[in-house]
Structure 1
Amino acid sequence: MINTKKQALYTAFIIIGAIMLIYDLTGKNENVYLKIGGLLILMIGLYNSTKQWASDNPKDDNTPEDEK
């Protein structure tokens, strides 16, 4: 069953992390901590959303040999 609340949270992490990285790349002052924080939040969101997608769509290992 798809957990939409968790997926929305992970999507928000991805968007916030991407915004932080884009803001730092386009700004005049480069802040290393903003880049690290943005990348960390982005990767946490991507990792958790990928785990969620994998659990929502289990792989069917019972396929016949002819279909492979």
Structure 2
Amino acid sequence: MNDADALAQREIALVDLLDRLLAGGVVITGDLTLRIADVDLVRIDLNALVSSVSAEVPSPFQDLDYEEPA
């Protein structure tokens, strides 16, 4: 059995897989177009970054000053 077969046979728990993906971050990209008779009716573009949050990494939004609406 070679290394490629060994990797294909290896089982990984879903929790471990999610932990690995979130540790490095995952980018989800997709396009959806609803078309009738060659006329585009609805187009949805999806770009999402999914990542874990760590208390050791500061938020990039801490420096922004928000004013309360009057």
TM-score by length of 1: 0.26
TM-score by length of 2: 0.26
Q: Which structure dedicates a bigger proportion of its chain to strand?
A: 2
Higher relative contact order (CA closer than 8 Å, sequence separation 6+): 1
Structure number with greater Rg is 2
